[in-house]
Amino acid sequence: MAAVESYDVVVCGLGAMGSATAYQLARRGVRVLGLDRLSPPHRFGSTHGDTRVTRQAIGEGLAYVPLAQRSHQLWREIEAQTGAELLTTNGLLVLASPGLQTRHHGKTRFLETTIEAARAFSIDHEELSAAEISSRYPQLRLSGDESGYFEPGGGFVRPEAAVSAQLELARRSGAAIRTVEAMTGYVQDTDGVTVTTTAGRYAAGTLVLAAGAWLGAILGEPYARDFAISRQVLHWYAVDGPIEPYLPDRFPVFIWDRQPVSFYGFPAIDGRDGGLKVAAEQAVPSATVDDVSREVGTGELYGFYDAIVRDHLPGLARRCIRAVTCMYTTTPDGDFVIDRHPEHPSVVILSPCSGHGFKHSAAIGEAVAATVAGEVPVVDLSPFSLQRLRPQSVPS
């Protein structure tokens, strides 16, 4: 085997979280190696499908607001440095009927918490009645008892472009980025870790595990049971009639909290040919990444249209232009885990973001990099400790 190369930090996984962390480490002058078993951005993890919802008032909890706000600032900086188009603030609408018991990303009272967050952080927004929503967006068919939240600074981020831009900036700052090289194991040494991969062996002071849905398999039990994998399906339906009402300047990103299942959608960012992306959270668990079926059957496409799309977006045709699968990695309470491994103090666990992590990823990467580099992070990561899930584990 080749001689062991030495780095300050190895980042395992270069999706949303790992690419942000590698970039932020490299710009601090930290000697970083980023590894990925595939070649990001790719369509086999959790960071693909053209768009991710972003918003500043976070219905999953107020602790997330500084992360989203900082990410918006960082994306603008990254856009300026690379010329990439990442963040589009065409407006974000959250709507719900009163008294809902549904969960969105594991949380009830999603609309109420969103409004509470907007008020607490003075985020520009409007609170709308069903009549106001219908008159502004006749493309949506409401039942009439909904109320809504509109955030003009919300919208969508382009996940693949964000990963590419951050990897480019990481390389420019001196990071070693190796793709199609999988980590096969690591050992906690007295003063760091030794990482083995399909191509070699590396010594590092810190290992950041940003492996997304593969994280549980790397950590093993008892940790793996806290990181459930589920298959999700994204659909792009064709628009009947003129496309103009669905373009980003006339149609917002929306999250519709409804019984029995919430769903969300985006404007037609690629015009008529691209259609409208619509999806709902699915809680179908998979034991391992390898069990996740990548095929989407025609029954699934028609079933989703008949159950949800037809009644709420009557301008969409019963014709799916494209569909892809993606994976959530979800913790029992739906909140993130960003923490040191309780038994391996040189290892940082970074990925399980329960289906709502992308909008926070730039700031998470910055905060993890700052912490590893011995700085005080600009956002607080303490709400995301592993210890809250396993109070019996030994803190590092």
Ligand X SMILES: Cc1cc2nc3c(=O)[nH]c(=O)nc-3n(C[C@H](O)[C@H](O)[C@H](O)COP(=O)(O)OP(=O)(O)OC[C@H]3O[C@@H](n4cnc5c(N)ncnc54)[C@H](O)[C@@H]3O)c2cc1C
Binding mask 218-257 for ligand X (x = CB under 6 A): --------------x-x-----------------------
Q: Which is nearer to ligand X, 220 or 391 (CB)?
A: 220
Least separation in angstroms between CB 205 and ligand X? 19
Least separation in angstroms between CB 181 and ligand X? 7
CA distances from 9 to 23, 213, 347, 378 (A): 12, 21, 10, 20
Least separation in angstroms between CB 129 and ligand X? 26
By CB under 6 A, tell whether 202 contacts ligand X: no
Least separation in angstroms between CB 77 and ligand X? 19
Judged by CB under 6 A, the chain residues 335 through 364 that form the site for ligand X are: 351, 353, 355-359
Q: Which is nearer to ligand X, 133 or 353 (CB)?
A: 353
By CB under 6 A, tell whether 154 contacts ligand X: no
With CB under 6 A as the contact rule, the residue among 7, 36, 93, 104 that binds ligand X is: 36
By CB under 6 A, tell whether 15 contacts ligand X: yes
**With DSSP H G I counted as helix, E B as strand and the rest as coil, what are the percentages for the chain, rounded to 5?**
30, 25, 40
Stretch near ligand X under the rule CB under 6 A, chosen from 38-46, 121-129, 133-141, 340-348: 38-46
Q: Are strands 147-151 and 126-129 parallel, antiparallel or unpaired?
A: antiparallel
Helix (H) / strand (E) containing 69: helix 65-82
Nearest-angstrom CA–CA distance, 335 and 383? 9
Binding mask 301-340 for ligand X (x = CB under 6 A): -------------------------xxx------------
Alpha carbons within 13 angstroms on the beta-carbon side of residue 74 total: 29
Q: Which is nearer to ligand X, 67 or 140 (CB)?
A: 67
User: What is the separation, in whole angstroms, between the first and last Cα of the chain?
Assistant: 32
Least separation in angstroms between CB 145 and ligand X? 25
Least separation in angstroms between CB 131 and ligand X? 28
What is the secondary structure of 220-242 as a DSSP string? -TTGGGGSEEEEEEEEEEEESS-
Q: What is the CA radius of gyration of the chain?
A: 21
Nearest-angstrom CA–CA distance, 244 and 234? 22
By CB under 6 A, tell whether 13 contacts ligand X: yes
Footprint of ligand X on this chain (CB under 6 A)? 12-18, 35-38, 40, 45-47, 52-53, 182-183, 210-214, 232, 234, 326-328, 351, 353, 355-359
